C-alpha cells in the first residue's frame, strides 16, 4: 500500500518571500534554543556516574561464543542496540521498529574514529537473527544475547524491549554509562529527523499538525506496509530471500 499526497491535500499558506523569511527567522530562534538545550543535556549525560557490569557476560557472534568485552573490538567505548526478536517467526513478523532504526545505520568509520564500536545485540537465537541481518543487508557487528546474559545486562529493565546501552572499557573492566529505550532510540534515526523538516512532518496520528494535513492511516502501523516492515520491501524487490533458515540471495 502506498500513501501519497495530492494537489488537493491541505497545504501551508502561500505568502511573499519577505513574510516567509520573517516567519522562518522567528522559528530559527526557537531551533537554536533547542540546539543549545540539547548540548546542555549532552553535557549532563557526559557527567553521569557509571556502574560496573561483568565483561565476561557471554554472547554469541559470527565465530561462536564471545564475551561482552570482546564486543568492544579493542576500542574504549561500545554502543549496543538491543534488537527485539520473535523466535521462530518468519521475517515479515519480526520487529518493525527495530528494523526501521537498524536499517538507517550504515557507515561506522566516524564512530570508530572516536574510539567507539557499534554493535547489534539481538535478543534471540544467533542463526535466525543473523539470517535476518543478511537478508536486510546489514553489515554492523551482530551478536545474540542468551536469556541469562540479558538478565545481567538489562537488569532492572524490560527484557525484550528495544534499548540503546552505552559502555566504557577501562582495561578489562566494563562499565555502563547510559541507556535509553522507546523514543530514545531515535538517536539512530535520520528519516524522522528529515521528515520533521518537511511541510507534512512524520504524518503520525499523534503529531500536532493543522487540520487537513495528511496522516498515516488509523489502525495501520507506521513502520509497516502490506504486512511487512517497510525496509524489507527493497530487499525483496532486489531478489533477496527472506527465508531465515538460509539467508543470502
pLDDT of 89 > 70? The answer is: yes
> Considering the domain boundaries, does residue 16 fall inside one?
no
User: Could you read off the pLDDT of 157-208 as tens digits, one per residue?
Assistant: 999 899 999 999 999 999 999 999 999 999 999 999 999 899 999 898 888 8
Written as nine digits, the cell of 89 is: 517467526
- pLDDT at residue 246, rounded to an integer: 46
What is d(CA 236, CA 242) in angstroms, rounded to the nearest whole number? 7
Residue 110: φ, ψ to 5°: -70, -40
Q: Model confidence at 5, in pLDDT bands (50, 70, 90)?
A: low
Q: Give the whole-angstrom CA distance, residue 14 versus residue 57.
A: 59
pTM, to two decimals: 0.90
Is 248 a residue whose pLDDT tops 50?
Answer: no
Structurally, the chain folds into a number of domains equal to 1
In a domain, residue 20? The reply is no
3 within domain boundaries: no
State pLDDT tens for residues 20-37.
999 999 999 999 999 999
Domain membership flag for residue 9: no
The CA–CA distances, whole Å, from 178 to 22, 75, 159, 246 equal 40, 17, 17, 36
According to the model, what pLDDT value does residue 70 have? 97
Q: Which residues pair with 143 in a beta bridge?
A: 121
Pairwise CA distance, residues 236 & 112, whole Å: 31
Q: Residue 132: what pLDDT? A: 95
Domain with residue 167: its CATH number is 3.40.30.10
Domain-located, residue 213:
yes
According to the model, what pLDDT value does residue 219 have? 85
Instruction: Give the closest residue to 35 by CA, choosing from 203, 193, 202, 210.
Output: 193
pLDDT tens string 144-168 = 999 999 999 999 899 989 999 999 9
| Domain, as residue range, for 132 | 49-249
Residue in the block written with cell 530514545? 184
Angle at 167 between CA 164 and CA 172, to 5 degrees: 150
In a domain, 60, yes or no: yes
In a domain, 2, yes or no: no
- Classify residue 219: in a domain, yes or no: yes
Residue with cell 524490560: 158
Amino acid at each position: 500500500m502506498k500513501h501519497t499526497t495530492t494537489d488537493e491535500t491541505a497545504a501551508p499558506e502561500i505568502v511573499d518571500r519577505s513574510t516567509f523569511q520573517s516567519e522562518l527567522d522567528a522559528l530559527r530562534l526557537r531551533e537554536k534554543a533547542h540546539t543549545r538545550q540539547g548540548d546542555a543535556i549532552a553535557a549532563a549525560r557526559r557527567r553521569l556516574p557509571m556502574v560496573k557490569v561483568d565483561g565476561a557476560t557471554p554472547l554469541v557472534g559470527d565465530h561462536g561464543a564471545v564475551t561482552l568485552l570482546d564486543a568492544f573490538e579493542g576500542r574504549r567505548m561500545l554502543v549496543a542496540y538491543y534488537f527485539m526478536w520473535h523466535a521462530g517467526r518468519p521475517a515479515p513478523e519480526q520487529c518493525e521498529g527495530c528494523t526501521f532504526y537498524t536499517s538507517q545505520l550504515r557507515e561506522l568509520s566516524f564512530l570508530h574514529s572516536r574510539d567507539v564500536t557499534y554493535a547489534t545485540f539481538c535478543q534471540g537465537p544467533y542463526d535466525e537473527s543473523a539470517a535476518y541481518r543478511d537478508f536486510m543487508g546489514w553489515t554492523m557487528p551482530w551478536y545474540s544475547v542468551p536469556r541469562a546474559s540479558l538478565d545481567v545486562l538489562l537488569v532492572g529493565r524490560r527484557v525484550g524491549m528495544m534499548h540503546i546501552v552505552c559502555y566504557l572499557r577501562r582495561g578489562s573492566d566494563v562499565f555502563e554509562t547510559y541507556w535509553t529505550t522507546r523514543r530514545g532510540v531515535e538517536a539512530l534515526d535520520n528519516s524522522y529527523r528529515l521528515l520533521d523538516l518537511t511541510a507534512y512532518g512524520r504524518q503520525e496520528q499523534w503529531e500536532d499538525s493543522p487540520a487537513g494535513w495528511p496522516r498515516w492511516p488509523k489502525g495501520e502501523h507506521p513502520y509497516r506496509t502490506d504486512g511487512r516492515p517497510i525496509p524489507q520491501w527493497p530487499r525483496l524487490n532486489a531478489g533477496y530471500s527472506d527465508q531465515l533458515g538460509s539467508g543470502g540471495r
